[in-house]
Structure 1
Amino acid sequence: MIVYDGLKSDFMRSVEGGLIAKEIEQNILDKLGFHTTANEFMSWENSMLRMYMIMNDSEIPSDAGVAIEYNVPQTAKRIDFMISGYGADNKPGMVIVELKQWQKIEKVEATDAVVELVETYTGNALRKVVHPSYQAWSYARLILDYNAIVQDKDIKLAPCAFLHNYIRRDNDPLDDEQYAEYLYEAPAFTRTQTKELKNFIKKWIKKGDKKEILYQVDYGKIKPSKSLQNSIASMLDGNQEFTMIDEQRVVYEEILKISERCQKDHKKRTVICKGGPGTGKSVVAVQLLAELTQRDQVVQYVSKNQAPRQVYLQKLKGKKRLTGVENMFKGSSSYVNVGRNQIHTLIADEAHRLEERSQYTKKTGNENQIKEIIHSAMCSVFFIDESQRVTMADIGSIDEIKKWAEFEKSEVIEMELESQFRCNGSNGYLAWVDDLLEIRNTANYNLDRIDYEVHLCDNPNEVRNIIIEKNRAANRARVLAGYCWKWEKAKQNDTNYHDIIIGDFEMSWNLGNTIYALSDTSVNEVGCIHTTQGLEFDYVGVILGDDIRYENGQVVTDFTKRASTDNSIKGLKTMYKKNPKEALARADEIIKNTYRTLMTRGMKGCYIYCTDPGMQEYIRTRLAAVPKSEDFIRSM
């Protein structure tokens, strides 16, 4: 949807009359239904005056189309400025301009996690944001990948960025080599480069179109391009990470049928798929993403946690940096202002981690992430394990999904993935963990006849040594820990700073500039629940901290032993003052679910150390039938 559109001549008159910002504001209210902030209004006043100076060139046709604040379909993203017309070859084209009022930026060192970030003062704070050229390119790619008119009529898209308050200097961080690919795809122009930006526009727009191309793009059918379909299909082809077996394929086929039925009869449906650790929820989710895209649907993979999105996207892309597939992986707060049924199918992985309001959208109309996902999609699919809710903010439950499905008049279909493919296919180990942590009573008191390596280590150094050795084979072993040690933000990228100290054992929390599950140096850091949930390794070493102990014949939890930097229990102290019983029960669930999740990340084995002597001895008795850790170490 285009908020403001007109000819170049209309735009020029509106700016000259001092009306452009007011017109945009009114159109946003009329078309999108919400009021704009004073800061946004002022940004239009400033930026549109700058664009007026750029467009004030007789060689830019007066009947070229101008669009401001184009709301990209299926998203809440808005493109600042677009100019449409015909090139020298009489081919239709559109220039996309991302406007920035920044005055200063700093480079953010590239990592295996991200390469496109810069740091600047925006939104009243110093923030890490994407490079403006990358942002402009991603918007153009989104239109190219999903707008049928752009694909069919071969409309040329020319993205660029205009930092109209920014003065470029020699060796400018804006132009650092790590951003070269983005700058090539979408040049960045600054305050003193008005002539260069004019020439860029004139290169693509030689003849006016009287807004015809803007109209076609705005009303074009939304479907994935063949190039995007082929791209994700080739990424999955032969990729063993995403191979489905047994009931995974049964669930996959059933969800495909449901989603296709939604598109044919235009009835909303919500699929709730339960599954414990290692049942293949994420594998099915990624395969559905690819196959439904092949079937001309607009599909997106959604998760609250950034870690699984990063890992699955990286495993699909390999070493490629710009593919368009990036736009298919979304955070759970992406659907605040997306219209009803705008997306064919949304696939919410790790749905137990969904929140009511995320920290990033509390002031922008966010109501409830489950509701927003169901509202935005004709078919919504939730993969869920209620026993993996690990923070106070986690609201993902089957009942909550059913409630909002009923509110949105969406039919609910329930299914389940039961077979265990992690932990050597041992449901017995999972039942043992539940019984061990007193989450639920099971018949699995010990691990007799269970084909899974479980060892209790006498100290955390043993855990580290075993994991380092196991990691040599395939970089698939990690040390994990409960959140009982402070995470020093100022030292987040310094592996030599050791957040976790237990006697003579010292290690750093996982670095903030790496994809923890994939980096070949992550074995030297300790992972937490936030960087490992939803992922799997071959082997894990788990350190149980002081927040879980064994006293008077039972497992007890203590939320006061969690680190002050742990946001997962934010609000618990307030709840405790009002209702101690409820607060302790909620804390008990969070802490036990956290360790249950960490202890079930390993496909082949788990090595344990407890800081509480009582808990250490308790687990030793439960492992009586398993060889002691020192016997295992001698055999290595």
Structure 2
Amino acid sequence: MIFNEMVSNLYGLSGEQIVQKMEMFYDDNSGAEKNSWRVSLPKLIEVVQRAGLGNLYLATEYELPAGGRIDATLIGDDENGNHHALVIELKQWSRGGVEYYPNNGFPAIKVNATNPYLSRHPVNQTKEYTDALNSNHSNVVNGQISISGCQYLHKFELSEKEFFVQDGYSDIDISNMFVMGEEGAFADYLKTLFSPTADNEVARSLFVDGEYVTTEMDMEIINRITESPDNIPLWHDQSMILDYIMPLLKQQSEGRLATNHMILIAGAAGTGKTIIGFRILAEYWRLHSNSNNNYRCKYTLPKSRTIKQVLDGLCNNQAGIRAEFLDYIKGQYDLLVIDEAHRITEFSNAISSAQIVILLQDDRQRVRGNEIGTKANFKNFAVMRGYKFTAFPLDYQKRSGLGSYVDRLDKLLYGDEYQKDVGLGIDVNVYDDIQELERWMNSCHNSTSSAKYYASYCWEWKSQKRPTEIDIKIPEINPVFQKQWNPMYNQYDWYLDSIDKVGCIYTAQGLGFEYVGFIWWDDLVWRTDHWEFNIGKVTQYDYQLRNSIANNASNQDLLLNIYRVMLTRAKKGLGIWFKDEETKQHFKEVCLLEG
């Protein structure tokens, strides 16, 4: 529930009285937030009342599930009875309290507070919020209520307003930004949106009570990328990264970019690295529109047969991203996006074949000893090649339902501690009987084709050469569970629909499914207070891993990474069967908080 009240009921209250009302709805707020309520909200309320719109509802601190909170939203009807919500970004900035910060080509606004910090442009912040509502709020998506946005900086001097359109911000539209001295213009703007006589109760209910549903996005988004970049909505942390990168793309399109940039975007599975990579490509295309389709940009990845086959299948020989293996890149480009960059095995000239290089990467998705695409290695390479190196983190878990499942998993595997637990975010079930897991998977498959089995590579791939052979038998004698490994070829068909064949680590990276059934074997087991690694059980059949770790001291970390990757493929539900009882109990204690 969010705080919402008719403006006329708030008019005349002191800032402290407003804070007291809001404290009944929101816990653990900082002093800065409370000061904003105390100072900025009364100023906003005065303008609304001045416009004769005390009948509007004011909603505050609307929290978007993937990050960001909307300072204030005015809700009501227009003269024709249409329902509308106006998102307002409030700032207490004055010109003396902020400065433009070039930030090595990634412009930001430096706020000289007690603890100085970098902020995004207020217009960009507002656009992120309105885009998120337009894409995900149920009653906005179904057309019952419309969304727009503006900014109100009640302390900022009118004579200094051009501050917000300098240098990297020169093309930002500040026509709906209102500062000190523009209260009359702000009131007039509000009167163009809302009626002073409407009841507004229906509008209030539509906004406050509507559901916020996350948009399903994964590899399939490549079919939409060429239509319009706006068809690729971004989450909070993704949107912030795009804010920084867009000025570089614009300078490059105008022939003004004199520096080379290597930008690493790091995040666990489900944080949307590929999505932001696609969006950057789409923005490049928009800035370099041409009829010959000969763009000087490439989407590449280290050799990954599965992802390549899936991407090619999704394109259907029509519009969309055409993935190329990094080894095949020749010549020079403006923009190079390298997905799964943690999997590179050598720092070749292809990596530095563009003026702007985007690396989509996760240190903990390295699964072979010869994979050297770490953040530290990329930074060293960038310095040697004369690139400005910048790293951005992606933290929000899209694939794991925005919950704490990945945090709990990292605590289980690596001992990482984390601050706040907001629940799993996905449905996780541990099955004592592997036949129960199979029944659950069959029921999932009855409702969706997006369901897959995964397991560590502890069984010989007999069916690769003898198609009728069964690879995985549990138990080995008189098995009650029997499956083959995923196919060598036709992996796009396997991706689309198959629970008859089990995927391994090499068909896991970069992909996600609604439901995953996972077989936790005895190559990784928990004993009292530590992990025991029986890596020989894997390398017996996985020659790629065996050869790559022959002289690698961190091979145990690689096995943890292998499990982490496969355990983060599910978007909605994960079912697990354990061979080892002690490992099962430890998982339940850490990840399910049982015990």
> Normalised by the size of structure 1, how large is the TM-score?
0.52
Equivalent residue, structure 1, for 2:462: 488
CA, structure 1 residues 517+282, in 2 after alignment: closer, same or farther (shift >3 Å)?
farther
Give the paired residue count: 362
Per the alignment, in what secondary structure is the counterpart of residue 424 of structure 1? coil
Give the Å deviation of 1:490: 3.9
Match of 1:113 in 2: none
Amino acid at match of 2:436: E
Deviations 1:354-375 (A, max 9, x none): 111xxxxxxxxxxx24x5312x
Q: 1:569 touches 1:587 (CA, 8 Å); kept in 2? A: no
Rounded to whole Å, the distance in 2 between the matches of 1:600 and 1:434 is 11
2:478 maps to 1:499: no
Counterparts of 1:147-296 in structure 2 under 5 Å?
Answer: 236-237=226-227, 243-262=233-252, 264-296=256-288
Q: Does 2:335 align with 1:345?
A: yes
1:588-618: CA deviations, max 9, x gaps? 1111011111111111121111222331233
Determine if contact 2:225/2:232 at 8 Å carries over to the other structure. no
Cα distance in structure 1, aligned partners of 2:579 and 2:443: 23
Q: Which residue in the other structure is 1:29 paired with?
A: none
Displacement of 1:298 in angstroms is 1.4
The answer to whether the 8 A contact 2:265-2:359 is kept is yes
CA distance in 2, matches of 1:618, 1:233: 42
Q: 1:248 to 1:235 in 2, by over 3 A?
A: closer
Q: Give SS of 1:470's match.
A: helix
Determine which of 390, 398, 415 is the counterpart of 1:440: 415
Gaps of 5+ in 1: 1-231, 357-367, 576-581, 628-636
| TM-superposed deviation, 1:624 | 6.1
Amino acid at match of 1:311: V
Show the counterpart of 1:213.
none
**Counterpart pick for 2:427 among 450, 453, 456:** 453
* 1:477 to partner: Cα distance: 1.4
| 1:430 aligned counterpart, secondary structure | helix
Change in 2 beyond 3 A, CA 1:599/1:550: same
Aligned: 1:384 with 2:356: no
Contact 1:448 1:625 in 2 (8 A): no
User: What CA deviation, in whole Å up to 9, does each residue of 1:57-83 have, x standing for no partner?
Assistant: xxxxxxxxxxxxxxxxxxxxxxxxxxx
SS at match of 2:489: coil
| Aligned-partner residue type, residue 382 of structure 1 | L
Paired letter, 1:306: R
Q: Which amino acid in structure 2 is aligned with residue 333 of structure 1? A: D
User: 1:427-471, CA deviations, whole angstroms, 9 ceiling, x for partnerless residues?
Assistant: x2111111122x1332589x8843321111113332232122212
CA distance, structure 2, for counterparts of residue 467 and residue 444 of structure 1: 33
Partner residue in 1 for 2:564: 596
CA contact (8 A) 1:516 1:531 kept: no
Farther off after superposition, 560-569 or 255-264: 255-264
Alpha-carbon shift at residue 245 of structure 1 (Å): 2.8
Q: Partner residue of 2:46?
A: none
1:611 equivalent to 2:579? Answer yes
In the alignment, structure 1 residue 311 sits paired with structure 2 residue 317: no
Question: How big is each residue's C-alpha offset from its partner over 1:339-396, in whole Å with a ceiling of 9 and x where there is no partner?
Answer: 4xx111100111111111xxxxxxxxxxx24x5312x111101011111111112101
With over 3 angstroms needed to count, the CA separation of the structure-2 counterparts of 1:238 and 1:472, relative to structure 1, is farther
1:479 counterpart SS class: strand
Q: Is the 8 Å Cα contact of residues 405 and 412 (structure 1) preserved in structure 2?
A: yes
> Helix, strand or coil: the match of 1:596?
helix
**Matches of residues 368-383 of structure 1 in structure 2 within 5 Å?**
368-369=347-348, 371-374=349-352, 376-383=353-360
Distance 1:523 1:624, change over 3 A: closer
Pair 1:334-2:328 in alignment: yes
Q: In structure 2, do the counterparts of structure 1 residues 234 and 392 end up closer, same or farther at CA, with 3 Å as the change threshold?
A: closer
SS at structure 2 position matched to 1:522: coil
Q: Quick one: structure 1 residues 516 and 237, their matched pair in 2 at CA, closer, same or farther if it must change by over 3 Å?
A: same
Residue 544 of structure 1 corresponds to 520
Over 3 Å counting, the alpha-carbon distance change for 1:537 and 1:402 in structure 2 is same
Change (3 A) 1:490 1:421: closer
Structure 2: gaps of 5 or more residues: 1-221, 289-294
Using the alignment, how far apart are the partners of 1:517 and 1:239 within structure 2?
28
Q: Using the alignment, how far apart are the partners of 2:262 and 2:383 within structure 1? A: 10
Q: Secondary structure at the match of 2:401?
A: helix
Work out whether 1:473 is the aligned partner of 2:447.
Answer: yes
Distance 1:553 1:283 in 2: 38
Give SS of 2:444's match. Answer: helix
SS in 1 for 2:248: helix
Q: CA deviation at 1:240?
A: 11
Structure 2 residue aligned with 1:565: 541
The structural deviation recorded for 1:573 is 6.5
2:299 to 301, 305, 308: 301
Distance 1:293 1:238, change over 3 A: closer
Distance 1:413 1:260, change over 3 A: farther
Shift in CA distance, 614/396, structure 1 to aligned 2, threshold 3 Å? same
CA contact (8 A) 1:572 1:587 kept: no
Q: How much has 1:301 moved relative to structure 2?
A: 1.0
Q: Following TM superposition, by how much is the alpha carbon of 1:625 offset from its aligned partner in structure 2, in angstroms? A: 5.0
Q: 1:476 to 1:528 in 2, by over 3 A?
A: same
Shift of 1:412: 1.2
State the match for 1:74 in structure 2.
none
Distance 1:623 1:420 in 2: 16
Could you say if the C-alpha distance between residues 557 and 411 of structure 1 is closer, same or farther in structure 2, counting changes exceeding 3 Å? Answer: same
Which residue pairs with 2:345 in the alignment?
355
Distance 2:422 2:379 in 1: 40
Please report the TM-score for the alignment, with normalisation by the length of structure 2. Answer: 0.56
Could you tell me which residue of structure 1 aligns to residue 68 of structure 2? none
Rounded Cα–Cα distance in structure 2 between residues aligned with 1:240 and 1:487:
44
Q: Residues of 2 paired with 1:520 and 1:325: CA distance? A: 18
Q: Shift in Å at residue 420 of structure 1? A: 1.5
Tell me if structure 2 keeps the 8 A contact 1:457–1:607: yes
CA contact (8 A) 2:299 2:339 kept: yes
**1:431 and 1:444 in contact (8 A); partners too:** no
Cα displacement (A) at 1:254: 2.7
Deviations 1:324-347 (A, max 9, x none): 757x41112123xx34xx111100
Partner of 2:152 in structure 1?
A: none
Contact 1:483 1:545 in 2 (8 A): no
Specify the alignment match of 1:522 in structure 2: 498
Q: Distance in 1 between matches of 2:369 and 2:577?
A: 26
What CA deviation, in whole Å up to 9, does each residue of 1:136-186 have, x standing for no partner?
xxxxxxxxxxxxxxxxxxxxxxxxxxxxxxxxxxxxxxxxxxxxxxxxxxx
Q: Summarize deviations over 1:86-113 as a string: whole Å, max 9, x none.
A: xxxxxxxxxxxxxxxxxxxxxxxxxxxx
Contact 1:422 1:602 in 2 (8 A): yes
Cα contact 1:390–1:568 (8 A) shared by 2: no
1:299 deviates by 1.2
* Residue equivalent to 1:511: 487
Aligned to 1:421: 398
| SS across alignment from 1:380 | strand
